Amino acid sequence: MNYSDNTYATLFKRQRENQFHIGNTTYKERIKKLKALKLALEKTYKQEIRDALYADFKKPTLETDLTEIYPVIDEINFVSQHLKSWLKRQKVDTPTALLGSSSWIKNEPKGVCLIISPWNFPVNLTFGPLVSAIAAGNTVILKPSEMTPHTSKVMSTIISDIFNDNEVALVEGEVEVSQELLKLPFNHIFFTGSPQVGKIVMKAASEHLTSVTLELGGKSPVIIDDTSNLDKAVKKIIFGKFLNAGQTCIAPDYVFVNESIVSEFKSAFKKHLTAFYSENPSASDSLGRIVNQKHFNRLKGYLEDAISKNASIELGGISEEKDNYMEPTLIFNAPEDSAVMQNEIFGPILPIKTYRKTDEVVGYINSKEKPLALYIFSKNKTNINYIINNTRAGSTCINHNLLQFLNHNLPFGGSNNSGIGKSHGYFGFLEFTNQRSVLKQQTIGAVDLLMPPYTNFKQKLVD
């Protein structure tokens, strides 16, 4: 929907007026709404979503089904299964000093929430948090990215089909739209995007002391040691890296390979890359495109910069501007001061670093911002535990990559520069929930006996 600046405030006000009506809905009523969203994704709008994502950046249909539609449906199924228990009053013990009272936690909605989402998995990262927000009983304004306009349009139609806009509204538009929305006193902001914009969001939220969830990005390292099943490791890394043409927040950003296995690593990489995308990846219908020319130029600049600083291209390197196409590219010896090692790559370029001792890798990772994900390919338990215990990261997947995103029982999110707060399942529900403490006094309690005047007798009782 296209709203104008002055109607954002009106929309917000109408949602605020409606918040108690929505907040007092039963778990059954909330599940009914989630099921309506599920039907839209699974049946009514499935093909339109696929077409829109193809029009936006040639996302292969199977990738759309697996990474955009399926995770939201799965989230809806999971939430529907557990919502009744999540909304139940949670009784807690009462200490002796408060004898005569009972205490419980009421999971109440935060109120009016804003969800700002990125372009790389627009459906998943807009509707995924929306599922948690609806489950918790909030009203919501959604602001998807301007970079995937076809997908935003379909999502807008879905939302206005299912919801009145005083409950859930989707606002399309450029960055300025986010900036206007961020001026409003939301009760919670759930932002997914870059750390740079995350800081802008947090600053704006601080004006109203609005709580935030920041799902951010950064450079996620992979470590392959000399005990790993190298062939399988390489195949999985190629899948994780080049899915969505590398434009995935938890995609491997760079790989540390033990120097004793580098030549086997190179041949396994060539073998699996060709098996996935053929000798001519530009003709493969399994490989998406860079989202727009701005990002294409950014990535091309990274490659040129690395080459000018004596990095070597081991595989790939070809790009076609007219189609925003970039070949899956493997580079060695990119120096530390090159753009590709300084920035989150977010595209199909994979720098390889070699190492001898695990400590070198641990030291390197700890000298950088905490990653959103850290991947370890190894059969050596001691080595795996050493790496986990001596680094920090939002998540770790051992002997695979990306899969941690799909387990609803795991919190998903970063730490510091890679994010604040968690999403998915119960963790996502809690982000949109205020855990309200309630204490009810049934009879006269110990504290009532100790009220002023503080007589000697009362002092003796305490002593």
Binder of ligand NAD out of 77, 102, 194, 407 (CB under 6 A) = 194
> How far, in Å, CA of 372 to CA of 417, rounded?
8
Token readout for 273 is 């890359």
Give the active site residue among 63, 68, 167, 215.
Answer: 215
How many chain residues interact with ligand NAD (CB under 6 A)?
27
CA R_g for the chain: 25
Q: Are the C-beta atoms of residues 326 and 339 closer than 8 Å to each other?
A: no
Q: Are the C-beta atoms of residues 154 and 168 closer than 8 Å to each other?
A: no
Give every CB contact of residue 129 below 8 A, 6+ residues apart in sequence. Answer: 115, 117, 190, 192, 213, 423, 428, 431, 432
Residue 186 phi/psi, 5-degree rounding, is -65, 160
Binder of ligand NAD out of 71, 109, 193, 252 (CB under 6 A) = 193
> How far, in Å, CA of 212 to CA of 245, rounded?
29
> How far, in Å, CA of 401 to CA of 241, rounded?
9
Q: Does 197 bind ligand NAD (CB under 6 A)?
A: yes
Question: Min. distance of Cβ 405 from ligand NAD in angstroms?
Answer: 8
Binder of ligand NAD out of 15, 94, 120, 433 (CB under 6 A) = 120
Q: Are the C-beta atoms of residues 86 and 106 closer than 8 Å to each other?
A: no
The CA–CA distances, whole Å, from 125 to 4, 163, 191 equal: 24, 19, 9
> How far, in Å, CA of 31 to CA of 38, rounded?
10
Binder of ligand NAD out of 112, 134, 135, 216 (CB under 6 A) = 216
> How far, in Å, CA of 372 to CA of 419, rounded?
7
Binder of ligand NAD out of 346, 375, 377, 426 (CB under 6 A) = 346
Q: Which is nearer to ligand NAD, 71 or 137 (CB)?
A: 71
215 is catalytic: yes
Q: Does 395 bind ligand NAD (CB under 6 A)?
A: no
Binding window for ligand NAD (CB under 6 A); candidates: 22-30, 172-180, 224-232, 233-241: 172-180
Q: Which is nearer to ligand NAD, 141 or 273 (CB)?
A: 141
Binding window for ligand NAD (CB under 6 A); candidates: 23-31, 32-40, 119-127, 234-242: 119-127
Question: Min. distance of Cβ 162 from ligand NAD in angstroms?
Answer: 21
Binding window for ligand NAD (CB under 6 A); candidates: 51-59, 150-158, 213-221, 271-279: 213-221
Q: Which is nearer to ligand NAD, 27 or 119 (CB)?
A: 119
Q: What are the DSSP calls for 45-108, one per residue?
A: THHHHHHHHHHHH---HHHHIIIIIHHHHHHHHHHHHHHHHHHS-EEE---GGGTTEEEEEEEE
Q: Does 369 bind ligand NAD (CB under 6 A)?
A: no
Question: Min. distance of Cβ 445 from ligand NAD in angstroms?
Answer: 46
Question: Min. distance of Cβ 167 from ligand NAD in angstroms?
Answer: 21
Q: Which is nearer to ligand NAD, 172 or 225 (CB)?
A: 172
Select the residue whose beta carbon is closest to ligand NAD and give its number.
Answer: 217
> How far, in Å, CA of 151 to CA of 322, rounded?
21
Catalytic machinery residues: 215
Site residues, ligand NAD (CB under 6 A)? 116-120, 125, 143, 145-146, 175, 178-179, 182, 192-194, 197, 200, 215-217, 249, 344, 346, 372, 414, 419
